[in-house]
Structure 1
Amino acid sequence: MGRGWLNTGGRTLSLEDFRGRVVILDFWTFCCINCLHVLDELRDLEQRFGDVLTIVGVHSPKFVHEADPDALAAAVERYEVHHPVLDDPDLVTWQAYTARAWPTLVVVDPEGYVVAQLAGEGHAASIEALVAELVAEHRAKGTLREGDGPYVPPTPQPSTLRFPAKAIALPDGNLLVADAGHHSLAELAPDAETLVRRIGSGRRGLLDGGPDDARFAEPNGLCLVPDELRATLGYDVVVADTANHVLRGVRLDDGTVTTVAGTGEQFMVGAPDNLVGELAGEAFVPGSKVPSRDVKLSSPWDVTWVPELAAFVVAMAGNHTLWAFDGKEGSVELFAGTMNEGLQDGPLLDAWFAQPSGLAVERGAVWVADAETSALRRVDAAARTVSTAVGQGLFDFGHRDGPARPGALPAPAGCRDAARRLGAGRRHLRRRAPPLRPRRRSPRWRRGHHPGDGARGAERRLRARGR
């Protein structure tokens, strides 16, 4: 079988344990931003259909580090995964269900048949409609089993910090920490141990207000506002509130939190409703400034002040770009990147990034930790160009039986398009779901293979069968 289960209280599960329930298998990996988006999409489904629906995360690692069981356990805790997770380090279950993209969702009906398979994110509405239909159908047939699922929450361990993401020094010598796991900010004394106060209630959500009422969702990035702007802006710190898809402003004297950019909804590439308010219905134009509260953002992961631009630069991990936020004007613009995922240098709006997650500024350059390409990128603010300082844009698909030959990073834009077409409609496959207790065998997955190749291949096969 796979290496084991998480969130089951030590119990080993099989499909027989889910008979009579609607099951969604979520093939994911914890360093994939699209997979993290799907985790958020599934939360509402878990709450609405919790008595008849079981979600099972099948963790299918892409990188060597993701196959580490301790790292997986930490990720399950950090991202608050509230359903059973099968650890599938050899990708045996991934192969059994012919998954080819991160993430892939497979819907299994209460009688054990696969009825739909969708690749990519943004399928929440379609899956919700499908689950509601399956529940009604099998309740009428008498094949639906209602009640609690197999999820067993782990015992919480109290701690001052839980998955701290970034720390900055405050003017008084204290430290402010983005306490992502506690959905709050923690102010520490200069000894970096003594908790002075907490800003945020600690409950996941999006709510402005005082330090005891405000809510964050996995805040990751922090940036101190320059002295000369604090009085004008009315806040002292900018926070990249990642899972809320917004930027927040925090006033240090009383801990008041205000949303300064974003709507709380995720920017979806190609969607017609990324602009709201007076701009609703208009097309989003890269490089054009728009009011900061009238545009959706996508998983802002870090934020830093760039004096040469007189603006804050935001690592927008969710759509592989960098944005500029002008707090004085109350505007944002797409500053660098095309929203294609990959590694390509050149002029700002022609460059490709892949999940930019960390930022630093030095002498007119913005340094970007470009996570999915394992590269360090340099943005020259004056020349308005992007170059790669470290890394070659190679994926390392090594696994436990030894490192693999890295494959050159392909152009995943085509992968995303194929995934959208593949999952655009409901695919009634009506085939028995393979077991969740896979036989041990050597993985047939070709390392260096990108999921887009499989998505395109699956699409060709569907066309050949007339689907």
Structure 2
Amino acid sequence: MAPVPNEEMLDELAVDVMDLQSQMADEGNKSKHKLMIRKMIDKNFTAQKYQPIPEFDTGLDWFNCLEPLTWKKHLLGSIVIIDFFTYCCINCLHILPQLRRIEKKFADSLVIIGNHSAKFTNEKSSENVKAAILRHDILHPVVNDLNNGMWTKLNIQCWPTMLFLSPRGDPFYLVMGEGRIEEIELVLSIAVEYFREIKQLSPRTLPLKPFALPSNPFELKFPSKIQCSNYDSSDTSEPLYALADSGNHRIIIFNFNGTVLHQIGQCGNAGYEDGSFNEAKFNCPNGVTWLDSKTLFVADTENHLIRMILIEQRKVQTIIGDGKQGTDFNGGHPPLQQSISSPWDILVYKTKNLDMSFHENEEQVAQKVVLLIAMAGLHQIWAYFMEQTIWWRYQVQNANSAVSIAGNGEEKNRNNDYPKQASFAQPSGLCLLRNAHELYIADSESSSIRKMSLASGKVAAVVGGTNNPMNLFAYGDVDGQKYAARLQHPLGLAHHHSENFVFVADTFNNKIKKINVQTNTIQTLRIIDDESNEVMKFNEPADLCLTPDGSQLIVVNTNSHEIIKVNMSTMRATKFHLKWPAQKISNETVGLPQGIPIVIVPNGRIFKRGISSFTLSIALNLHEGVKLTPDAPQKISPFLTRGWRLDTFDSQKLLFEGRTNIVVKIPPGVSEGDCTFHFVLLLCDEKDSSCFRKEFGVKIGLKFINSNDIVTEAVFIGVTKSEILIR
């Protein structure tokens, strides 16, 4: 085995790369750039300037592959990029689309390995790493470097860092930070050409097995942000709740009874498309905020856009952003030409002009609408002014302008009386104290809650973090006052108009806490799970909101794909069950794909006429040594006759216990209809010697007749390697 590289190796390589980049910046000729890069690769490889890196530590958890990858067995012969990342880091998330791009472009020569090197304690959990892989659609191999072993051995300094390795495993290039895709593609194209010429490229087949969590139109998938439509005490309309179902790339609107009224976006289909509710596409939306009960704004995070949803017109349109990740720290361009970066939360703020001296009657002055945006990707707070507005310090903000209002773009925890001299670290959650005209900010990477005056722009500490603006590692789980308190990557905030408390989703501590805004003191809420009668175990809760009367706290329990309702009087928690209009949503989002085989159940099934719902037992049996592939995504989706509504169906119980019931509610007077199940199964034989995919439909005709002697037997579905057996 080659000796472990010394600690100075990557420092020296980083200096070499920086020198090269400096020379390239002075040279305008692209052909000279290519020559310089080739000379550097040749020099490092031929002279064996840098020793091959060591093997990954044993005993680590690997994802998206069937076994741990080693140089000797899997990687020699390929160009390898190790991406040192941590899943909380916005800069790390920004390079994921770039990694997908180069992985596809250099598929025959390149292996990408994600080396997860946690910043926060919560991120060390392999279950949490797996959830992040599923949430962000990471398909390349990832190792959970539990104790940051490779990070330490190679003296890595920051997230993200991409280390380029030759086909024999020695480093030849290093990229730190984001925004370098053109450079990366140029280096890779030259490296592939060089190593192919000297006959070093001989990639091996890797034991890849990407994870996938299938989208289901009747289930949530990594929901993130939520807001109630009438959080303002003056609004007396029926409260509606908007939820960003981020993993399904859609927005869901429902009432307090849980009835889903609208589903906006194509479930499971990420993209960028304006248009009708059916046509529109989002990409991991997060923040949602209501202008009124007819208008909703959305922070479409991975599209780098702000979208507007017009409920009555059933229409989605973009109001800010050009769809590209921006690096502009000022703004001011026409809204649809203004590049922005990973907006994570958004709020409507209504204000009069802040210089009222020239108005005779202040009461007659209309309020202006301002959208406040937590621009996580730029570490700033932005605002979109819909009308010309006199802002703090007598600044005139033009109508239809999106500009930064606080933060200088440096990733720090710096408070300041002057907002543009303050610094934030991935601001991810916002809430308003309307009477105080203060914006509270969940500054996730500094693990602190901060506030900004909406009268002067002053940025101040509330709880968590430290008074050292450079320290972004002051995290933990400690209740207390101001800097004595400790949080861990909080993402969500909520405030009720009649209380002096701000509620916090302390995400990586898996807790809900509340801040006394008069004393800057934070306290953990002791919430009891009504089902287990034990303290509620949250799973990376990302947001929360209060009902208009303040009696219920609605918590988005992100990694458990659910919403939790907390009674604020009893502090007991129950799951908030959504009621899906099954046929309506399935028609608008997915249909049974054309061309797949559909098996008809002989003679269908018969029920008594006049019932309001029916229950049918479904059994699934795997025959002839066939079994479900462990950890692989399996999918069963029901489709019903129009007007029927799915009440209960547990696909996981059918898969893993072999039997479950489907309960369907039907309108009066029904005489017949059908239920079709779409199966997508990933199977293996008994010895795991071969795996295969089986996709098929099972259609059950249903009749309702006048008889008291009906006994409806279960539908039995048998699956073998070659056929589907039905009875």
Which of 50, 58, 71 matches 1:15?
71
Is it true that 1:392 corresponds to 2:465 in the alignment?
yes
Question: What's the CA shift for 1:111?
Answer: 2.8
Alignment match, 2:310: 251
Amino acid at match of 1:111: R
Q: Which stretch shifts more, 180-189 or 141-150? A: 141-150
Q: Distance in 2 between matches of 1:150 and 1:263?
A: 39
Alignment match, 2:556: none
Alignment match, 1:237: 296
Amino acid at match of 1:96: K
Alignment match, 2:194: 137
Question: What's the CA shift for 1:30?
Answer: 0.8
Runs (5+) with no aligned partner, structure 2: 1-57, 230-236, 352-367, 388-398, 477-483, 487-727
Say if 1:289 and 1:333, in contact at 8 Å, map to a contact too: yes
Alignment match, 1:379: 452
Amino acid at match of 1:343: N
Is it true that 1:262 corresponds to 2:321 in the alignment?
yes
Amino acid at match of 1:341: E
Alignment match, 1:421: none
Is it true that 1:302 corresponds to 2:345 in the alignment?
yes
Q: Which stretch shifts more, 326-335 or 259-268? A: 326-335
Question: What's the CA shift for 1:353?
Answer: 0.8
In structure 2, do the counterparts of structure 1 residues 355 and 238 end up closer, same or farther at CA, with 3 Å as the change threshold?
Answer: same
Say if 2:446 and 2:474, in contact at 8 Å, map to a contact too: no
Q: Distance in 2 between matches of 1:114 and 1:157?
A: 37
Alignment match, 1:177: 243
Other structure's SS at 2:337 match: coil
1:55-454 to structure 2, matched below 5 A, reads: 55-145=112-202, 149-159=206-216, 160-170=219-229, 172-192=238-258, 194-201=259-266, 202-226=268-292, 236-268=295-327, 274=328, 286=330, 289-308=332-351, 310-328=369-387, 329-346=399-416, 347-362=418-433, 363=435, 364-393=437-466, 394-396=471-473
Amino acid at match of 1:166: K
Q: Distance in 1 between matches of 2:106 and 2:310?
A: 40
**Between Structure 1 and Structure 2, whose CA radius of gyration is higher?**
2
In structure 2, do the counterparts of structure 1 residues 187 and 297 end up closer, same or farther at CA, with 3 Å as the change threshold?
Answer: same
Other structure's SS at 2:201 match: coil
CA displacement, residues 181-215 of structure 1 (integer Å, 9 cap, x when unaligned): 111112334333x5444211232222212222222
Q: Distance in 1 between matches of 2:147 and 2:277?
A: 45
In structure 2, do the counterparts of structure 1 residues 19 and 384 end up closer, same or farther at CA, with 3 Å as the change threshold?
Answer: same
Amino acid at match of 1:377: R
Other structure's SS at 1:318 match: helix
Q: Distance in 1 between matches of 2:282 and 2:116?
A: 26
Question: What's the CA shift for 1:155?
Answer: 4.7
In structure 2, do the counterparts of structure 1 residues 398 and 381 end up closer, same or farther at CA, with 3 Å as the change threshold?
Answer: closer
Q: Distance in 2 between matches of 1:318 and 1:257?
A: 24
Question: What's the CA shift for 1:147?
Answer: 7.4
Say if 1:340 and 1:353, in contact at 8 Å, map to a contact too: yes
In structure 2, do the counterparts of structure 1 residues 155 and 386 end up closer, same or farther at CA, with 3 Å as the change threshold?
Answer: closer
In structure 2, do the counterparts of structure 1 residues 2 and 385 end up closer, same or farther at CA, with 3 Å as the change threshold?
Answer: farther
Question: What's the CA shift for 1:8?
Answer: 0.9
In structure 2, do the counterparts of structure 1 residues 61 and 398 end up closer, same or farther at CA, with 3 Å as the change threshold?
Answer: farther
Q: Distance in 2 between matches of 1:198 and 1:177?
A: 10
Alignment match, 1:443: none
For the aligned residue pairs, the C-alpha RMSD in angstroms reads 2.4
Alignment match, 2:674: none
Amino acid at match of 1:325: Y
Say if 2:61 and 2:126, in contact at 8 Å, map to a contact too: no
Q: Distance in 2 between matches of 1:2 and 1:122?
A: 34
Structure (1 or 2) with the greater strand fraction:
2
In structure 2, do the counterparts of structure 1 residues 258 and 162 end up closer, same or farther at CA, with 3 Å as the change threshold?
Answer: same
Say if 1:369 and 1:376, in contact at 8 Å, map to a contact too: yes
In structure 2, do the counterparts of structure 1 residues 321 and 242 end up closer, same or farther at CA, with 3 Å as the change threshold?
Answer: same
Say if 2:465 and 2:475, in contact at 8 Å, map to a contact too: no
Highest RCO, 1 vs 2 (Cα 8 Å, sep ≥ 6): 1
Say if 1:50 and 1:149, in contact at 8 Å, map to a contact too: no
Say if 1:379 and 1:387, in contact at 8 Å, map to a contact too: yes
- The TM-score, its normalising length taken from structure 2, stands at 0.49
Q: Distance in 1 between matches of 2:238 and 2:135?
A: 30
- The TM-score, its normalising length taken from structure 1, stands at 0.75
Other structure's SS at 1:290 match: coil
Q: Distance in 2 between matches of 1:72 and 1:213?
A: 32
Other structure's SS at 1:293 match: helix
In structure 2, do the counterparts of structure 1 residues 398 and 19 end up closer, same or farther at CA, with 3 Å as the change threshold?
Answer: farther
Question: What's the CA shift for 1:52?
Answer: 2.3
Q: Distance in 1 between matches of 2:247 and 2:93?
A: 14
CA displacement, residues 242-294 of structure 1 (integer Å, 9 cap, x when unaligned): 111111111112432211101111122xxxxx4xxxxxxxxx6x4x7432122
CA displacement, residues 342-367 of structure 1 (integer Å, 9 cap, x when unaligned): 11212211111110000001121111
Question: What's the CA shift for 1:339?
Answer: 0.5
Q: Distance in 1 between matches of 2:446 and 2:213?
A: 34
Is it true that 1:47 corresponds to 2:104 in the alignment?
yes
Other structure's SS at 2:190 match: helix
Amino acid at match of 1:390: V
CA displacement, residues 150-187 of structure 1 (integer Å, 9 cap, x when unaligned): 43122535551111111223465443211111111123
Say if 1:64 and 1:396, in contact at 8 Å, map to a contact too: no
Is it true that 1:5 corresponds to 2:62 in the alignment?
yes
Say if 1:64 and 1:397, in contact at 8 Å, map to a contact too: no
CA displacement, residues 51-106 of structure 1 (integer Å, 9 cap, x when unaligned): 32211000001111111222111111111111110111211111222211111100
Say if 2:112 and 2:140, in contact at 8 Å, map to a contact too: yes
In structure 2, do the counterparts of structure 1 residues 325 and 42 end up closer, same or farther at CA, with 3 Å as the change threshold?
Answer: same
Q: Distance in 2 between matches of 1:224 and 1:398?
A: 32
In structure 2, do the counterparts of structure 1 residues 86 and 127 end up closer, same or farther at CA, with 3 Å as the change threshold?
Answer: same
